[in-house]
Structure 1
Amino acid sequence: MVTANRIEISWLDGLRGTAALVVVAFHAFLFTGRTGDAAAAMPVWGAIVGQGYLGVPVFIVLSGYVLMLPVVRGGAGTFRNGIADFLKRRARRILPPYFAALLFSLALIAAVPLLQSPSGTQWDSKIPIDLPSVLSHVFLLQDLSPQWIEKINGPMWSVAVEWQIYFLMPLVLLPLWRRMPHVVVVAAITAVLLVPAFVGYGAYLHPWLVGLFAMGMFAAELTLSERLPRWLPWGAGATGLAAVAVFVASALRGTDLLPFKEVVAGGLIALLLAWGGWREVNGRRVRPLRVFATRPMLYLGLISYSIYLFHSPLLGLANLVLLPLGLPTVVQYLVMTFVAAPLAVAVAWGMFHLVERHFLNRRQSRVEAAVHHEQTPSSAPAHVRSSRQAGPAA
């Protein structure tokens, strides 16, 4: 039974940082050469690295998980200091780095003519820049239209989704949570919001991500329960089989069953968090996950939001600079992955220090201090430390 006021599970940081790097690796492949060049030149490798977009459902499940932990600990099914305080803290953490990245992207496009004209590359989906696309990003509404969602800086659409879920959590999800069985809430929301994937209308909204957020909430409930339910191993096995079935069906059909991949991936991550979190909270270390709590992984998790926000336009520019060299596609991909991507991460590191580090929450400030002093964030047991993190923003 947990008796402390706050909770921290340190390997969540490294897990988040790893997800950010997976997304960067995916985009390095996606931006290589003209549109489709990398997939044609490296079909097998493309089938592997091309699943990198699954870093997004990892972020969403993590967000639901860590934001729900203090709610579960409070016992009332509500935020301790009210909805306004919750949204204020989320805004302070999420929005300043987001707007810095938006200004950075717009300034880069305005300053570099190479980024302003179509070139037959993946970058073409980011331009031209017009007033509606800019305003939709300013108000975090770009996910509401297929004409806006990929403009300027592609990864930003998921930040908009997460921002909107922050409002749904207290206004919709928690009220349902207090009135209905939690597994029913998760199943019903996920099933209903998968409908656009079946009817082929509105799927660009990724509405099922709300269900993944709810999966994270449920994982938090299980983490702080007295004991894990007996069905958890069976649920993990069934979800694993579902994941295999979805990936095989996707390969056989020749189409990417993205919504269903994201749902099963989210389910697996939620089950992992429930199992690993429960063991850690109860003093039972989870050795396979401890690698994510090492000093380098903690630091990677600390800057993961900046990595996520700033890398895309830099990779787009790097590809356009390389194109006139006429490199073979495989060589260009290697340069994108092992030169351009690390440079983009380095710029993100700089932007973290310039902007994001001034808006860290208290826990993250402690992590930063501990990392720089080559210590762990705290020597206290997992169940007496703090956990206020979310999504790529930690």
Structure 2
Amino acid sequence: MSTSAPARAGTRIEFPYLDGIRGLAAVVVVLYHAWLFTGLSGQAVASSDLAIPRLIIGHGYLGVPVFIVLSGYVLMLPMARNGSSWYSRGFGSYIFRRAKRILPPYYAALAFTVVLIAAIPLMRAPHDTQWDSKIPVTFGGVASHLFMLQDLNHDWIEQINGPMWSVAVEFQIYFLMPLILLLWRFCGAWVAVGITVAASIVPALFGVATFAHPWLLGLFAIGMLAARLTFVVPSRRWIEPAALAAGLVVVAVAYRALPVVREHGWLIELVMGCLTAAALVALGRLAIAGRRNIVTGFFGSRPMLFLGLTSYSIYLVHSPLIGLANLVLLPLDLPLVANYLVLTFVAVPLALGVSWLMFFLVERHFLNSRQRDASRELRAAEASAAPVEAGHDGRRAPAREAAADEAEAAY
């Protein structure tokens, strides 16, 4: 493709701040669920006492479209770097690596949640809380989770462990990515992404299977396009300001159409996805140019990198633990605000601790090569008490790993 500039031979450009963005998105989702699980079902949403939390984190579910755009972005990066539009080792190798990275932690978290529900009677009985949507655990629910198909059935999608539905959606998108690339090859990037986005929002326009969030496929394609725009020829200096301007235009239009956006949740997610993509393009091109900034410095800091490294485990494990904590608090008859504060400042840190344990016991054994390097770097920095270099966004590293191993996990 003439509009792309491959990286120099023998080098590859890294964007470690992407892990920090992923980590923040995971924490935002956790805080959103702590608010959502507070008290009885719907009580936190309707309570005027929790109006400020609702204003701040009431849209925390938008972390999901951020994850999806990030996924399309990082999975397209190896091709964007090399100016190609197909997998360097073929589709079979690509899907095997994705399965190896995603499935073992997913199945471990699924087993953990099922055992937790089976072992604690409190979690098996309905109490008119948000947790009620996760029970009872049925054969169809378990089977659909095992085959990652729970998002296709309204009765299964929320069962057992709610956030897992988006992992299933993402895994299914992996199999559709080659179709987007074929369209890309024959129609061009913009047309291919436009067709994908249009096709993905048709079900939402007609109110068909909206619980499955079909528009996430379009957001994944937008993330792919953002990766390609990140690597367009450097002479096109208008890309960074244009990307930021496009993001601001999207936000402005959404604000003007706010009643419509509120009425259709998929529009909010589409707006958030476009804004995320625009930011990724701008940050990526600044990183390639070696221009440091506060944003990439923050997301590339040691705490954010650690959050990013463990974000998948955080995403997989937190929901049943927060749900259990709320069930334990209910008999105490605490004021709703106190219930919320305990969930946020006690249950959430405990859930993060269990997530780290899940990462240490399971997920770290299935990291890709880049993530293993990042993990070793963080451990070495901790051991020496030396700060991780926050300015390494956009650094160039030896190409001792195959381009096929550069694809990162979606969470």
Give the TM-score band, short-chain normalised.
over 0.9
Letter in 2 for 1:131: F
Task: Give matches, 1:81-230, under 5 Å.
Answer: 81-170=89-178, 172-226=179-233, 227-229=236-238
**Residues 247, 371 of structure 1: alpha-carbon distance in 2 compared, 3 angstrom cutoff:** farther
| Separation in 1, partners of 2:94, 2:77 | 13
The runs of 5 or more residues in structure 1 that have no matched partner are none
1:239 corresponding residue in structure 2: 250
1:382 corresponding residue in structure 2: 394
**Residues 30, 380 of structure 1: alpha-carbon distance in 2 compared, 3 angstrom cutoff:** closer
TM score, norm. by length of structure 1: 0.94
1:3 corresponding residue in structure 2: 8
Tell me by how many angstroms 1:229 deviates.
Answer: 4.7
1:288 corresponding residue in structure 2: 295
- Check whether the contact 2:163–2:315 (CA below 8 A) recurs between aligned residues: yes
Tell me by how many angstroms 1:376 deviates.
Answer: 3.5
Listed one character per residue, the Cα deviations across residues 65-112 of structure 1 (whole Å, up to 9, x for unaligned) are: 011010122333111111111111111100000000000000000000
Which stretch of structure 1 is more off in the superposition, 105-114 or 34-43?
A: 34-43
| Separation in 1, partners of 2:391, 2:245 | 34
Tell me by how many angstroms 1:383 deviates.
Answer: 5.1
Listed one character per residue, the Cα deviations across residues 290-342 of structure 1 (whole Å, up to 9, x for unaligned) are: 10000111111000000000000000100000000000001100000000011
TM score, norm. by length of structure 2: 0.90
- Check whether the contact 2:244–2:282 (CA below 8 A) recurs between aligned residues: no
1:27 corresponding residue in structure 2: 33
| Separation in 2, partners of 1:300, 1:190 | 30
1:370 corresponding residue in structure 2: 377
Letter in 1 for 2:25: A
- Aligned with 2:350: secondary structure? helix
| Separation in 2, partners of 1:380, 1:18 | 19
Tell me by how many angstroms 1:381 deviates.
Answer: 6.9
Listed one character per residue, the Cα deviations across residues 237-291 of structure 1 (whole Å, up to 9, x for unaligned) are: 321213323545455xxx4x31001001000000000111011012122322310
The runs of 5 or more residues in structure 2 that have no matched partner are 382-386
- Check whether the contact 2:300–2:391 (CA below 8 A) recurs between aligned residues: no
Q: What's the % identity of the aligned pairs?
A: 51
- Check whether the contact 1:31–1:121 (CA below 8 A) recurs between aligned residues: yes
- Check whether the contact 2:189–2:225 (CA below 8 A) recurs between aligned residues: yes
Letter in 2 for 1:295: R
The structure 1 residue matched to 2:23, chosen from 17, 33, 36, is 17
1:348 corresponding residue in structure 2: 355
Listed one character per residue, the Cα deviations across residues 117-176 of structure 1 (whole Å, up to 9, x for unaligned) are: 111000000011111000000000000011110000000000001101111112x11101
Does structure 1 residue 326 correspond to structure 2 residue 333?
yes
**Residues 44, 198 of structure 1: alpha-carbon distance in 2 compared, 3 angstrom cutoff:** farther
1:40 corresponding residue in structure 2: 46
Which stretch of structure 1 is more off in the superposition, 128-137 or 193-202?
A: 193-202
| Separation in 1, partners of 2:64, 2:256 | 21
**Residues 307, 38 of structure 1: alpha-carbon distance in 2 compared, 3 angstrom cutoff:** same
Q: How many residues align?
A: 387
1:311 corresponding residue in structure 2: 318
Which stretch of structure 1 is more off in the superposition, 368-377 or 240-249?
A: 240-249
Give me the CA root mean square deviation. Answer: 1.8
1:267 corresponding residue in structure 2: 274
Letter in 2 for 1:39: V
Tell me by how many angstroms 1:185 deviates.
Answer: 2.0
- Aligned with 1:391: secondary structure? coil
| Separation in 1, partners of 2:244, 2:109 | 41
| Separation in 1, partners of 2:182, 2:325 | 47
Which stretch of structure 1 is more off in the superposition, 258-267 or 235-244?
A: 235-244
Tell me by how many angstroms 1:361 deviates.
Answer: 0.8
Which stretch of structure 1 is more off in the superposition, 95-104 or 233-242?
A: 233-242
| Separation in 1, partners of 2:238, 2:391 | 29
- Check whether the contact 1:228–1:275 (CA below 8 A) recurs between aligned residues: no
**Residues 169, 136 of structure 1: alpha-carbon distance in 2 compared, 3 angstrom cutoff:** same
| Separation in 2, partners of 1:378, 1:19 | 19
1:300 corresponding residue in structure 2: 307
**Residues 296, 6 of structure 1: alpha-carbon distance in 2 compared, 3 angstrom cutoff:** same
| Separation in 2, partners of 1:249, 1:380 | 42
Tell me by how many angstroms 1:198 deviates.
Answer: 1.9
Letter in 2 for 1:154: G
- Aligned with 1:6: secondary structure? strand
2:384 corresponding residue in structure 1: none
- Check whether the contact 1:156–1:309 (CA below 8 A) recurs between aligned residues: yes
